[in-house]
Amino acid sequence: MKNIIIRKSKISGKGVFALRDFKKGEVVLKWHPNFIKKKEIEKLSNKKINYLYKIGKRYVIMQSPERYVNHSCEANTKALNNCDIAIRDINKNEEITANYSKDFSSISFKCNCGSKKCKINIQSLQ
């Protein structure tokens, strides 16, 4: 976590922020996901349910710090091989964001990203 920090976000709760500049194509954050079986979901606490996602056919509980990467309709990263990869240059102190509707399946929520291209109601495309 030497290149990122978790702090208060204008988007939602906590967010992940760059401590240095990142170039397009660079790995910004490597995940440490906790993959679980579908039958284990009902045993999860309410707190852990907040960080539960479906990636393809697998269920995962995101861990810190990746669990604090907020959604943006104009995200600066994409998910690839359990990493957040910069899809454009990211400046130091900029919040690291992902497009949940492209990166995760079975997602539905009201967006608070504040971008000019905000879709307001998010539904996964997968």
* Residue 47, C-beta contacts closer than 8 angstroms, at least 6 positions apart: none
Domains and CATH numbers, the chain: 4-123 (2.170.270.10)
Q: Give, in degrees to the nearest 5, the angle at Cα 98 between 92 and 100.
A: 165
Please give the radius of gyration of the chain, using alpha carbons only, rounded to the nearest integer.
Answer: 14
DSSP helix/strand/coil, 7: strand
* Residue 43, C-beta contacts closer than 8 angstroms, at least 6 positions apart: none
Question: What does the pLDDT look like over 9-56, one tens digit per residue?
Answer: 999 899 999 999 999 999 999 998 889 998 999 898 888 887 887 777
DSSP state, residue 88: S
Reported pTM: 0.84
